[in-house]
Amino acid sequence: MLRIGVRRDPAMHGKVMFKRIRSALFIDFENMPLARDSIENWLAWLEDGGFDGNKRRKFLLKRVYWNSGVQKFKNAYEARGFEVMLCDRYHGLANSVDVQMAIDIIEATYEYPRIDEYILITRDTDFVPVLKRLREKQKRTAFMVNEATLNVHTTYHQHADVLIPVRTLEDARRYERKRRGLLARLGGLGGATASAAVAPGKSGRRVGVQPAMAAPAVKPAPTLPVAAKPLVIVPRKPRKPAVKHELPNAAATARALEYAIRLASALPDRPTSRARMIEALQGLPEFSTSGRSPFLGFVDYKGLMQELCRLDPRLAILDQPGGGIVLRFLAPAQPTTGPTPEPAPEPAPEPAPETETAGQPTGDAAVRPASAAVA
């Protein structure tokens, strides 16, 4: 048993819907130009269900598609809650309105899941895949079709839940919404009083005008004193104490220098990037990029590299055009190649001085003949 104000529609695939159908309206202005001077009329006609038995609607989304040639109508449509979708037109190509409109309809099923019905005002005949997809998503569809083209009418009759004949647009332009509820009853009372005031009596004289029935005064509901909300003081979150970095470790810095020289000197012609250097320094137990001693106590990568360059002049820092730094190993200058000079001749050694030894003659006595010695 359904509650009051709720009904089932067979076109809604068994869904329970409220009095107003949550709908979306898509208009292809290129193929179906609707007069801007009667927007309120045909829009009210669609909302009141003038094409399907007065089923009232509430448009959660209204979009109109056109090219730049009709931008002069933009203010008139935006004033009635439409989103104006400007579609580009390319020379020598077909109109892109229908493609853009089909894409937006499918995307709307994801962005606005509460919409139950999609009304398409267009004369294009290639929206059958869109209607099939909407039916798969259990969405109600209404499509405008020209009854004169029987094959198109038959095709869309199989895929759309409701067909809107083109000939009914003339009725939509002249449509005037009837007043409902209390306004309609008050208007009826006013008309009856006015007719009674001018009605002639039996004697041919006009009957005195009776005062119009005033609407019963509605007493305002008593206002209850609003209790003051208690003042809630939210305690401020304590700030985290600043991290105190440890001082640099000389021993770990010396080992990092060895790692850096070994890595950078392997390819002296190519600079060493930050990523490769950090990957190599990960082998040090003391190295980390965060914590109390990031980059061995030098806080950041640049600070550590500056210290390594200070310790060894063969290392140099190069700035990158896009930001950041790289490390370069400056190889020592090689001697220029040329002919090898001949070695200078060594000077002849000087003779050692002669010394007399006991029992052995020296000098001329050593070479004097024996006969001379005897004489």
- Taken in order of first residue, the domains within the chain and their CATH numbers are 6-173 (3.40.50.1010), 250-329 (1.10.10)
Which residues fall within 8 angstroms of residue 97, CB to CB, at 6 or more apart?
A: 28, 29, 30, 31, 65, 66, 67, 87
Cα separation of 53 and 213, whole Å? 35
**E-state strands within 198-324:** 315-319
Q: What is the pLDDT of residue 72?
A: 86
Q: What is the pLDDT of residue 249?
A: 80
Q: What is the pLDDT of residue 61?
A: 95
Q: What is the pLDDT of residue 135?
A: 94
The DSSP call for residue 320 is -
Exposed/middle/buried for residue 11 (C-beta within 10 Å: 0-12, 13-18, 19+) = middle
10-residue block means of pLDDT along the chain (375 residues)?
A: 42 57 91 79 91 90 88 89 85 74 94 94 87 94 87 88 89 83 58 45 47 60 64 70 70 90 84 88 87 85 90 88 83 60 63 55 51 44
Which residues fall within 8 angstroms of residue 41, CB to CB, at 6 or more apart?
A: 172, 173, 174, 175, 176
Q: Exposed e or buried b for every residue in 119-155, given b needs 16+ CB within 10 A?
A: bbbbebeebeebbeebeeeebbbbbbbeeeeeeeeee
Q: Which of 107, 100, 92, 116 is nearest to 24 (CA)?
A: 116
Amino acid in position 238: P
Cα separation of 26 and 32, whole Å? 11
Q: What is the pLDDT of residue 118?
A: 96
Q: What is the pLDDT of residue 349?
A: 64
Q: What is the pLDDT of residue 214?
A: 57
